[in-house]
């Protein structure tokens, strides 16, 4: 009996030793993976790529059949039929251009499908294996989303989704494991890719009630506890002499006269006050899908909110944010994703991908044209010829607005018969939208220079 007990104890000890050995090796592998991406030292320049609203849908969730085509054609211009090519081309471009950091500010997936999250994470791992650290936060589409669907034949099917805990686990290697501070109440965290520049990744989405209301909540906010944590992060950055850049999905400032509710943070004034007390000059956001830069001046301080356009929407731009240590400045400019170059390099024969720039503009323009036509016909106030003229104005303005170039040659549209018809039309959301785009006073939404 004693021998058996001794043998059993020895067996347990061996098991524990093996478990400990495996645990240490697992941690060692993780440490080695993390150590391969070193923090940028103080005094060194850095380049960050900024993208948002990828709305990736896993290829495993669609057969590109009737149900999927109807879903895409009835959408808001997201090019989901080509999203696999878009994300692969983006990955190819990032690996070739080798920025120091890649930032993704929410709506990583179409509607929070588990398969989309896990497949996208695999693609992000390939980028990070090239020594490019990635930092992500969720958007309003990503977590606990009742709208998650797969598509087969002429039918849509519900599919698996994820919760906040799953999100943190799936994207552990993309910010969460490297965080130097984490908010206890949300998926927000503070990262320090450089000794000089820190990223305050803020989870502004509200997904706790999605199951109850039956749809993904669009609007965003930051609660008082998170605002207090932001103050702690700002103080920590100040102690270390680091500049801090908040990144959030929702907008801190208004970017449209008519598209505000659900896009600008519900409590943006409280958040703005906290950020300006911390002397923060720049916020990066997404959500609204357009390319736009807004500013707010308070005394001597000016805060800018840069919305980078959706990667899933024409013209498929991403931001390039360059930090100059010598000049103590940040320079932002956009870069258009070159899907055509990726297609040629990979030997792809798809004609649409080989002429992607024109094809994408036609796709997006058609979506805007058709939306305007349908709504104008429902009013029964215009002739078919007038509807066509007004829809063409909507198409052109939408293409320019989403590219952040609505001020370029705006008069050539405002002098057309279609625009004059819009100006005299009965009040509607589309009329307000057209008028707001044509009166936008911003001069350049694709470039910004900030001096610290």
By the 8 A CB rule, do 244 and 284 touch? no
| pLDDT tens track for 385-423 | 999 999 999 999 999 999 999 877 677 888 899 999 999
- For position 72, what pLDDT does the model report? 96
pTM above 0.85, yes or no: yes
Mean pLDDT of 189-195: 98
> Burial code of 221-236, b = ≥16 C-beta within 10 A, e = fewer?
ebeeebeebbeebbeb
CB 55 within 8 A of CB 109: yes
Q: Which residues are CB-contacts of 332 (< 8 A; sequence separation ≥ 6)?
A: 50, 293, 306, 319, 320, 321, 322, 447, 448, 449, 450
Per-residue confidence at 259, pLDDT binned at 50, 70, 90? confident
Name beta bridge partners: 194.
40
* Separation between Cα atoms, residue 145 and residue 211, nearest integer Å: 8
11 upstream amide cis, omega within 30 of 0: no
pLDDT digits 0-9 by tens, 95-154: 999 999 999 999 999 999 999 999 999 999 999 999 999 999 999 999 999 999 999 999
HSE-CB of 147 using CA atoms within 13 angstroms: 17
Find out whether 307 and 318 touch, Cβ atoms under 8 Å. no
Dump the DSSP string for 119-171.
HHHHHHHHHHTTT--EEEE--TTTSS-TT-EEEETTEEEE--B--HHHHHHHT
CA distance 283 to 295: 10
Contact (Cβ atoms closer than 8 angstroms) between residue 70 and residue 161: no
Q: Report pLDDT digits (tens) over 317-340.
A: 999 999 999 999 999 999 999 999
Q: Taking the mean position of all CA atoms in its chain, how far away is CA 263?
A: 13
Mean pLDDT of 291-313: 94
Model confidence pLDDT, tens digit, residues 346-374: 999 999 999 999 999 999 999 999 999 99
Query: Residue 22 above 60 pLDDT?
Result: no
Calculate what percentage of the chain has a pLDDT beyond 90: 83
- Residue 85: which pLDDT band, with cuts at 50, 70 and 90? very high
Count of positions (residues) in the chain = 452
Say what the pLDDT of residue 29 is: 33
Distance, in Å, from the CA atom of 354 to the CA atom of 351, rounded to the nearest integer, reads 5
Runs of H (alpha helix) within 267-355: 268-277, 339-345, 351-354
pLDDT digits (tens, 9 = 90+) for 161-185: 999 999 999 999 999 999 999 999 9
The predicted model gives 298-306 an average pLDDT of 90
Token pair for 269: 């004034």
């Amino acid at each position: 009996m004693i021998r058996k007990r001794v043998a059993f104890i020895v067996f347990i000890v061996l098991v524990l030793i093996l478990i400990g050995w495996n645990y240490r090796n697992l941690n060692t592998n993780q440490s080695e993976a993390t150590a391969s991406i070193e923090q940028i030292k103080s005094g060194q320049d850095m380049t960050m790529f900024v993208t948002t609203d990828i709305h990736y849908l896993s290829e495993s969730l669609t057969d590109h059949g009737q149900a999927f085509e109807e879903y895409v054609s009835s959408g808001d211009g997201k090019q989901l039929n080509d999203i696999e090519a878009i994300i692969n081309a983006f990955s190819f471009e990032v690996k070739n251009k080798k920025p120091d950091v890649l930032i993704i500010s929410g709506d990583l997936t179409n509607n929070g499908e588990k398969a989309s999250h896990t497949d996208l994470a695999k693609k992000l791992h390939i980028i990070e294996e090239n020594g490019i650290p990635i930092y992500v936060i969720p958007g309003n589409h990503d977590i606990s989303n009742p709208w998650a669907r797969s598509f087969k034949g002429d039918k849509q099917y519900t599919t698996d989704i994820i919760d906040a805990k799953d999100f943190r686990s799936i994207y552990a290697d993309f910010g969460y494991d490297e965080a130097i501070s984490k908010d206890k109440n949300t998926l927000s965290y503070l990262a320090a890719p450089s000794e000089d520049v820190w990223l305050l990744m803020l989870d502004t989405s509200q997904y706790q009630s999605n199951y109850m209301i039956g749809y993904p909540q669009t609007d965003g906010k930051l609660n008082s506890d998170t605002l207090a944590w932001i103050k702690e992060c700002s103080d920590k950055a100040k102690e270390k002499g680091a500049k801090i850049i908040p990144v959030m999905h929702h907008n801190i400032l208004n970017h449209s006269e008519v598209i505000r509710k659900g896009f600008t943070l519900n409590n943006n004034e409280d958040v703005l006050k906290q950020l300006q007390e911390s002397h923060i000059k720049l916020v990066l956001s997404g959500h609204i899908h357009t390319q736009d830069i807004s500013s707010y001046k308070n005394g001597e301080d000016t805060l800018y909110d840069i919305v980078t356009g959706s990667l899933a929407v024409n013209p498929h731009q991403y931001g390039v944010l360059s930090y100059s240590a010598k000049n103590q400045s940040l320079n932002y400019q956009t870069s258009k994703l070159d899907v055509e170059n990726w297609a040629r390099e990979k030997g792809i024969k798809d004609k649409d991908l080989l002429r992607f720039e024109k094809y994408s503009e036609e796709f997006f323009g058609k979506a805007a044209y058709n939306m305007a036509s349908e709504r104008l016909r429902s009013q029964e106030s215009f002739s078919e010829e007038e509807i066509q003229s007004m829809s063409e104005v909507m198409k052109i303005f939408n293409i320019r607005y989403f590219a952040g170039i609505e001020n370029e040659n705006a008069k050539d549209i405002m002098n057309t018969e279609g625009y004059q018809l819009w100006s005299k039309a009965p009040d509607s959301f589309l009329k307000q939208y057209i008028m707001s785009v044509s009166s936008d006073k911003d001069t350049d939404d694709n470039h910004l220079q900030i001096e610290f």
